[in-house]
């Protein structure tokens, strides 16, 4: 089983166990799309709180918001929350750009996420892994 197939299976199981977790839904969608499968994000929105972060990223993946709108929605009066939201936005937009074959912009955003995300965020690890996969030293 490939790493992508394993990740898709793991995120599928996580999304089944926690259908109200938007992060599991987002990661499952991205792994499904990367493997060429049809995503299930639209159905997942029935159980997600679409009024709070990271709902803008969900909406972007559904074609309802642009990456610029997701970046703007990451704003928060709490600097730590804003930093975390921007970290996540940059990684999710990079993945979205990669799916759209906007490789230069994806690479730029992976670099931003790898340098700006708090080290304890999964998105930090994902950005570093993406850069490594692309043969770029973070």
pLDDT tens-place string over residues 27-80: 999 999 999 988 899 999 999 999 999 999 999 999 999 999 999 999 999 999
User: Residues 81-104: what's their mean pLDDT?
Assistant: 96
d(CA 8, CA 77): 34
d(CA 62, CA 65): 8
């Amino acid at each position: 089983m490939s790493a992508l197939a394993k990740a898709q299976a793991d995120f599928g199981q996580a999304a089944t166990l926690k259908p109200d977790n938007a992060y599991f839904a987002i990661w499952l969608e991205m792994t499904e799309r990367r493997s060429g499968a049809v995503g299930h994000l639209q159905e997942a929105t029935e159980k997600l709180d679409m009024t709070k972060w990271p709902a803008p990223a969900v909406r972007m993946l559904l074609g309802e918001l642009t990456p610029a709108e997701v970046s703007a929605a990451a704003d928060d009066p709490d600097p730590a929350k804003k930093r975390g939201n921007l970290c996540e936005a940059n990684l999710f937009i990079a993945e979205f750009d990669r799916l759209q074959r906007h490789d230069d912009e994806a690479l730029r955003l992976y670099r931003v996420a790898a340098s700006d995300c708090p080290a304890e965020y999964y998105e930090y690890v994902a950005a570093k892994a993406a850069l490594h996969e692309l043969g770029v030293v973070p």
